Homo-oligomer: A and B are copies of this chain.
Amino acid sequence: MEVQTRHSTRRDAVLECLRKHHDHPTADMLYNEIRRDYPNISLGTVYRNLNFFVEHGEAVRIPVTDGQTRFDGNVKPHFHFRCSSCGALLDLNLEDERQLEESLDHPKTDFKGSITGYDLVFTGLCKDCLKKKKETA
């Protein structure tokens, strides 16, 4: 009862575009960019394919409390930072990644369910917004 998936230029374009960008684009950002190559692609198709990729483990949703859902084509574990001023969503390299990953992957707890993952986004001001803030202070 497997559902067959079939080759499609639109789906390829969405995944390629998602992987090309490291700014964790929204569906709308991808739509506007892909439209340059496929002028009649629809926003619905972009959403459908993004959801397809998330279901098939080829992309992840990054949770944010406001605005549109951000997608990431890099499914390897890594950390994110979100600027609370401009909304930019960036990859964040930590020096003690191994240790933090260990703590997050295997949290010590008496919780009776099963913990299989986590969503983590650091917040603050990005370089540019921090600079602007200092200038106006």
Contact = CB atoms under 8 A, between A and B. Distances in A.
A108 B93 CA distance: 9
B121 A118 contact: yes
Nearest to A99: B103
A17 interface: no
Interface string A97-114: 001100110011111111
Interface in A62-84: 62-66, 69, 79, 81, 83
Interface residue SS majority, chain A: mixed
A96 B124 CA distance: 25
A59 to B, nearest CB: 12
Interface of A: 61-66, 69, 79, 81, 83, 92-96, 99-100, 103-104, 107-127, 129-130
Given A113-B124, A119-B123, 7 more contacts: A61-B65, A63-B65, A95-B110, A103-B103, A104-B122, A113-B126, A114-B125
